[in-house]
């Protein structure tokens, strides 16, 4: 029998690994150039997804990116990020700086593909449950109640809702053993019951569940799930007045840079943590390559500009493709909604805690539009963004009733009104010459590109 040789993909991967070994990535941390932020500079051999991998490392380290300058023409990329910690301070801790350098260097050097970055880690001690279906009041309560009844302990979870759809990644363990749930019959039962909950009484809207033994990059996976579910595909007539008002604060346009063969994406939105990750994640999933980019914040807004081409080397070629790109980027930014009232739950963790808390939310007419669930040692550290059942702000007396039921000392209200943007003109595109002239001037002075016409 003739032996099979290595595939062309394997040969290509081995060659690119060799190139990276011969030209190892360089990561530098600069605390002297800027008075307000720490500069992180990354130089490395370029490959599709390099930018996303770097940004992903920075957000996983809980860093806030205030500015970014990106260039990846040719086979090499250079990224410069101005970052601060959660409190808005520069990074002086030597251990944190060393961790940044090691994380960025090892991530790029390992040549970890995008498929692997969202794949399964065999060493995980949890069972990963992915859910997607039509959102409705009380849905999260029903999901957590089913898992509690099935003796599943939820150690972490993240829930996003957008355009009447809900996506969640839940990490659970067996209530008895404390390890992953690996019984095939039990897993099949979990999938079956959760799918019934997601379908609801109508059962017409598509619902999906999947279970694996391992971890994914949760936020990366949620973007992929909602993109595959086409949450961006919704007519304006289906949007309520509040959604249209919020959309007016978000501006995304796509233009052509004829001289250089790029398409130029402009984004203006409310600034928030992880905004850059959400945008870059979507561009990567849509198979666009970012050649140059500049991002910066001017409180309370953020501005992003990307010079892109499709992976086949072509710019955006049609009006339909342009509109689809605009809708997908808008959806990516709005998925991580912070418009609801923020409630923080901090207490001793116990089996069924989430089921009880979300049941109280449901009984008081609260709808969870986003949730972040985590467990640190024996403590539950959970964040919920809630509205009333119609999507409107929650009345104060309702919150007091909820806090009295759960415990006023463990459930805190964190409604930061100062973080909400001030009213802006609702024009088609109001960045004007400020954003374009500033970004093009920076890129031009860096020698990264010429002006576009």
Closest CA to 283 of 319, 247, 326, 239: 326
SS3 54: helix
For residues 75 and 74, which has the higher predicted lDDT (pLDDT)?
A: 75
Strand order in the sheet with 76-84: 26-30, 38-45, 76-84, 64-71, 288-298, 301-310, 262-270, 251-257
Separation of alpha carbons 319 and 72, rounded Å: 26
- In order, the DSSP letters of 207-272 are -EEEEESS---HHHHHHHHHHHTTTT---GGGS-HHHHHHHHT-EEEEEEETTTTEEEEEEEEE--
Please give the average per-residue pLDDT across 67-93, as a whole number.
91
| Per-residue pLDDT tens over the stretch 14-49 | 555 554 555 567 899 999 999 999 999 999 888 888
Q: Is the pLDDT of residue 321 over 60?
A: yes
> What average pLDDT is seen over the chain?
83
Select the highest-mean-pLDDT range: 42-51, 225-234, 393-402.
393-402
Q: Is the pLDDT of residue 3 over 90?
A: no
Separation of alpha carbons 270 and 76, rounded Å: 32
For residues 363 and 214, which has the higher predicted lDDT (pLDDT)?
A: 363
- In order, the DSSP letters of 351-372 are TTHHHHHHHHHHHTTEEEEEEE
What is the percent of the chain with per-residue pLDDT over 70, rounded to a whole number? 77
Q: Is the pLDDT of residue 9 over 60?
A: no
Tell me what pLDDT residue 259 has.
Answer: 85
Tell me what pLDDT residue 441 has.
Answer: 53
Superfamily of domain covering 8-117: ACT domain (3.30.70.260)
**What pairs with residue 347 in β-bridges?**
380
Tell me what pLDDT residue 311 has.
Answer: 92
For residues 338 and 308, which has the higher predicted lDDT (pLDDT)?
A: 308
Q: Is the pLDDT of residue 331 over 50?
A: yes
Q: Which range has the worst mean pLDDT, 140-149, 162-171, 200-209? A: 200-209
Residue 114 burial by Cβ neighbours in a 10 Å radius (0-12, 13-18, 19+): middle
Tell me what pLDDT residue 41 has.
Answer: 95
What is the domain partition of the chain in residue ranges?
8-117
Tell me what pLDDT residue 202 has.
Answer: 61
Tell me what pLDDT residue 248 has.
Answer: 60
Model confidence, pTM: 0.83
Separation of alpha carbons 429 and 422, rounded Å: 17
Q: How confident is the model at residue 102 (pLDDT cuts 50, 70, 90)?
A: confident
**Residue 368 corresponds to which tokens in the numbers above?**
């969870």
Q: Kindly report the backbone phi and psi dihedral angles of residue 120, in degrees, each rounded to the nearest multiple of 5, phi listed first.
A: -100, 135
| Per-residue pLDDT tens over the stretch 115-161 | 333 322 333 688 999 999 999 999 999 999 999 999 999 999 999 99
Q: Is the pLDDT of residue 341 over 80?
A: yes
Q: How confident is the model at residue 6 (pLDDT cuts 50, 70, 90)?
A: low
């Amino acid at each position: 029998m003739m032996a099979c040789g290595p595939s062309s993909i394997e040969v290509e991967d081995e060659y690119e690994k060799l190139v990276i070994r011969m030209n190892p990535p360089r990561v530098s941390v600069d605390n002297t150039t800027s008075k307000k932020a720490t500069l992180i500079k990354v130089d490395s051999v370029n490959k599709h997804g390099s930018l996303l991998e770097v940004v992903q490392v920075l957000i996983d380290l809980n860093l806030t990116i205030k500015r970014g300058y990106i260039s990846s023409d040719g086979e090499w990329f250079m990224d410069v990020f101005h970052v601060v910690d959660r409190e808005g301070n520069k990074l002086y801790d030597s251990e944190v700086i060393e961790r940044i350098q090691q994380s960025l260097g090892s991530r790029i050097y390992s040549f970890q593909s995008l498929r692997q970055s969202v794949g399964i880690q065999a060493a995980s001690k949890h069972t990963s449950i992915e859910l997607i279906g039509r959102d409705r009041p009380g849905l999260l309560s029903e999901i957590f109640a089913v898992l509690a009844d099935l003796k599943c302990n939820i150690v972490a979870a993240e829930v996003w809702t957008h355009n009447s759809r809900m996506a969640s990644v839940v990490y659970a363990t067996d209530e008895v053993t404390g390890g992953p749930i690996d019984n095939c019959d039990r897993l099949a039962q979990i999938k079956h019951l959760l799918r019934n909950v997601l379908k609801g009484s109508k059962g017409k809207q598509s619902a999906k569940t999947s279970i694996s033994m391992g971890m994914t990059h949760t936020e990366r996976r949620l973007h992929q799930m909602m993109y595959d579910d086409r949450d961006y595909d919704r007519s304006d007539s289906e949007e309520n007045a509040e959604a249209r008002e919020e959309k007016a604060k978000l501006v995304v346009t796509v233009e052509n840079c004829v001289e250089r063969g790029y398409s130029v994406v402009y984004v203006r939105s409310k600034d928030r943590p992880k905004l850059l990750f959400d945008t870059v994640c979507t561009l990567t999933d849509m198979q666009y390559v970012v050649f140059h980019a500049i991002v910066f914040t001017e409180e309370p807004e953020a501005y992003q500009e990307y010079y892109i081409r499709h992976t086949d080397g072509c710019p955006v070629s049609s009006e339909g493709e342009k509109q689809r790109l605009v809708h997908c980027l808008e959806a990516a930014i709005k998925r991580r909604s912070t418009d609801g009232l923020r409630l923080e739950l901090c207490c001793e963790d116990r089996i069924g805690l989430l089921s009880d808390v979300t049941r109280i939310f449901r009984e008081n007419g609260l709808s969870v539009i986003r949730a972040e669930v985590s467990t640190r040692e024996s403590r539950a550290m959970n964040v919920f963004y809630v509205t009333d059942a119609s999507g409107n702000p929650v009345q104060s007396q309702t919150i007091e009733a909820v806090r009295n039921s759960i415990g006023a000392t463990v459930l805190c209200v964190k409604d930061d009104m100062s973080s909400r943007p001030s009213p802006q003109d609702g024009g088609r595109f109001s960045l004007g010459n400020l954003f374009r002239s500033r970004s093009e001037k920076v890129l031009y002075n860096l020698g990264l590109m010429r002006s576009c016409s």
